[in-house]
Chains A and B, each alone.
Chain A
Amino acid sequence: MKPSAPRQNSILAKQRVAVPRPSRRRFYGYGIPNVDVQRLAGKLIVMEGADGSGRSTQIARLRDWLEGCGHATVQVGLKRSTLVSEELNQAQKGNILSHTTLSLFYATDFADQLENVILPALKAGFMVLADRYIYTLMARDLVRGMDATWLKNLYGIALVPDAVFYLNVSPEQLVERNFAKNYALDYWESGMDLGLSREMFDSFLKYQGLMAQEFKKLQAIYGFTIVDANRRPEEINRELQRKIASSVMGK
C-alpha cells in the first residue's frame, strides 16, 4: 500500500530519527527460559480483531509510517512458523484434531515464532508488528470451553507487548467486508465446528458475537486499546499513529 503524498513529504522532511525510549519488559508468566528481557530494545505492537476488521491494511500503513520515520520493522502473524504452519493448515482443512490438541498446536506455532522471530528482532532493535497475538488464540479457545487458568499458564510464555490495539467492527460490517474480500464466509471464522447453527450466516454472526464477548473479558484483564474500526482506514491509522507516538515511542 502506497502512503499518500503529503504524509510522505512531512516524514521525509525530517532527517533526525528518534530513538525510542526503552521499555520496562516482562513476560506474562513464566516466559521463555534463558531470555534476558532487558536486552530487548525494540518495540512490540499488536493488532487484534476479527477477519475483515482491517488488521492487515492498518499494519501495512503503520509499516510505511514507521519506516518513513526511520525505524526498522518486522511482521509476524499466526500460523506462520517454520515448525508447524504447514501441519496446522492441514489440520484445519480436515477438522480432525480435538480441542486440547489443536490449542496446543497453535501454542507451538506461537512459541516458535516468538523465539525465532519476535525475540531476536526485538533484541536487534526492530519494531515488530504482530498481526494477532495470544489474545485471539485465547478467545477462540475460551469460546470452545477451554479452561481460563490453563490458558493463562500456557500463554505465560508470551512477552507483554508495548501496545495492543483491538480493531472493533460490528458483526454486520464484518459480514460485508468478508463478502467483499472472499465472496464467502470461512468455516473456522464462522465457528462452524461449534454447531451454533447449521446455517453458515447465522453461525458467523453468533460466533463473532461470542468472540467479541471474550475479547471484552480479555480486555479487562490485559488492558488493550479498543479502536473503533467502523471508520475509514486513514482515520483509523491516524489514531493508531498518534497513540503509538505518545505511548510507545515516548515522545
Chain B
Amino acid sequence: MTKTFAELKFPGRLIAVEGLDGSGKSTQIYLLKRWLELQGLKVFFSEWNSSDIVKSATSKGKKRELLTPTTFSLIHATDFADRYERQLVPLLRAGYVVLCDRYVFTAFARDTVRGCPPEWVRGIYDFAAHPDLTFFFKAQLEVSLQRILDGRPQLKYFEAGMDMRLSSDPYESFRIFQGRILEQYLGMSTEFNFSVIDANQPIEAQQTVVRELVAAKIDLASFAANHSEKHR
C-alpha cells in the first residue's frame, strides 16, 4: 500500500478532492483554501501548471487526436510526475498544507474506463505518495451531467470520451463515460479511504463537514505562517 505524506514523515500535508466534473468539488476546495489562509496558515493551492514542454506534447496529442488509451495514460502520468517533482514535493518538504483539485485517483478511474489494466496504471503512479486526506464528492450522475451540459456545451473529443466510440453523439458519449467513471470512483472509495461528501447537500453544509474533517485530521496550529519563528 502506498504511503501518505504524513507516514513518510513529510512536514507538509496534502489534501485532495476528487469527483465528477460538476460535482462542486472545485467550489469546496476553494472555500477550504480561503478558510485556511484567513487563519494565517501556510497553504498552497496547486494550480497544476505543468512545464511548457510537457504541456505542448499533451495538447498536441489531444488536438490531433493522436492518443490511444496507453499513450493517453502515459502522457498524463508524465504531466503528473512533472508537477509532482517540481511543485508538490518541494512544497510538502517545506511544510505547506497543499490542496489539489484531483490527484492520482482521477487517472486510476479515467484510464481504467479507457481499458488500461488497473494494476498497470497504479504501478506507474506508485512513485507518488497518497494524500493525507481525500474528499470524494458524491453527486447524482444526472445532477453533475446537468451542471456541465447546461454551462459548457462545447465538449472536447477526449473529455467526452469520443475515443472510446461509445456513441457518435458527444453528449451521449459524455454521459456514458461519466457514468463509468463514477462506478470506478465508488469502487475505489473504501480501498483508498475516501472521505465521502454528499454533494447533493447545500454548499455550506458540505463545507462544514469538510472543515470538521480537516481540523480533526490535521494539526492546523502547527502550520501557522509564523510558527517556525516562534520556536526559534
When A82-B66, A90-B53 are in contact, do A97 and B117 touch as well, CB less than 8 Å? no
A40 shortest CB reach to chain B, Å: 16
Q: In the bound complex, what is the Cα–Cα distance between A56 and B126 (angstroms)? A: 36
| Residues B74 and A108 in contact, CB atoms below 8 Å apart | yes
Interface membership of A183, Cβ < 8 A: no
B25 shortest CB reach to chain A, Å: 26
Interface membership of A156, Cβ < 8 A: yes
Interface membership of B51, Cβ < 8 A: yes
Q: Mark B53-95, 1 if CB is under 8 A from A, else 0.
A: 1101100110000111111001101100110111000000000
Interface membership of A84, Cβ < 8 A: yes
Question: Which residues on B sit within 8 Å (CB–CB) of A112?
Answer: 66, 71
Q: In the bound complex, what is the Cα–Cα distance between A87 and B68 (angstroms)? A: 19
Interface membership of A247, Cβ < 8 A: no
Question: Which residues on A sit within 8 Å (CB–CB) of B86?
Answer: 98
Question: Which residues on B sit within 8 Å (CB–CB) of A157?
Answer: 70, 120
Pick the contact of B81 from A30, A96, A98 — CB < 8 Å? A98
Interface membership of B116, Cβ < 8 A: yes
Interface membership of A34, Cβ < 8 A: yes
Q: In the bound complex, what is the Cα–Cα distance between A112 and B58 (angstroms)? A: 13
When A83-B61, A107-B74, A115-B70 are in contact, do A30 and B119 touch as well, CB less than 8 Å? yes
Q: In the bound complex, what is the Cα–Cα distance between A155 and B117 (angstroms)? A: 13
Q: In the bound complex, what is the Cα–Cα distance between A53 and B77 (angstroms)? A: 33
Q: In the bound complex, what is the Cα–Cα distance between A18 and B121 (angstroms)? A: 41
| Residues B127 and A150 in contact, CB atoms below 8 Å apart | yes
Pick the contact of A83 from B71, B81, B115, B126 — CB < 8 Å? B71
Interface membership of A33, Cβ < 8 A: yes
Question: Which residues on B sit within 8 Å (CB–CB) of A96?
Answer: 51, 53
What's the tally of chain B residues with a CB closer than 8 Å to chain A? Answer: 32
| Residues A101 and B54 in contact, CB atoms below 8 Å apart | yes
A97 shortest CB reach to chain B, Å: 6
Question: Which residues on B sit within 8 Å (CB–CB) of A100?
Answer: 81, 84-85, 127
A90 shortest CB reach to chain B, Å: 5
| Residues B75 and A108 in contact, CB atoms below 8 Å apart | yes
Interface membership of A213, Cβ < 8 A: no
Question: Which residues on A sit within 8 Å (CB–CB) of B82?
Answer: 97-98, 101
Interface membership of A170, Cβ < 8 A: no
Interface membership of B202, Cβ < 8 A: no
Question: Which residues on A sit within 8 Å (CB–CB) of B119?
Answer: 30, 153
**Residue of A149, A153, A156 with highest tally of chain B CB at under 10 A:** A153
When A100-B81, A100-B127 are in contact, do A87 and B71 touch as well, CB less than 8 Å? no
Question: Which residues on B sit within 8 Å (CB–CB) of A108?
Answer: 57, 71, 74-75, 78
Interface membership of A105, Cβ < 8 A: yes
Q: Give residues of chain A (182-207) contacting chain B, Cβ–Cβ below 8 Å.
A: none
Interface membership of B123, Cβ < 8 A: yes
Question: Which residues on B sit within 8 Å (CB–CB) of A91?
Answer: 53
When A82-B66, A84-B75 are in contact, do A34 and B53 touch as well, CB less than 8 Å? no
Q: In the bound complex, what is the Cα–Cα distance between A63 and B37 (angstroms)? A: 65
Question: Which residues on A sit within 8 Å (CB–CB) of B209?
Answer: none
Q: Give residues of chain A (55-102) contacting chain B, Cβ–Cβ below 8 Å.
A: 82-84, 86-87, 90-91, 96-101
6 example contacts (A-B, Cβ-Cβ < 8 A) are as follows A84-B61, A87-B53, A97-B53, A98-B81, A98-B82, A112-B66
What residues make up the interface of A, taking CB atoms closer than 8 Å to B?
Answer: 29-30, 32-34, 82-84, 86-87, 90-91, 96-101, 103-105, 107-108, 111-112, 115, 147, 149-150, 153-154, 156-157
A97-B82, A112-B66, A115-B70 known; 10 new pairs, CB 8 Å cut-off, are A33-B115, A83-B57, A83-B60, A87-B54, A98-B85, A101-B54, A101-B81, A105-B57, A154-B123, A156-B120
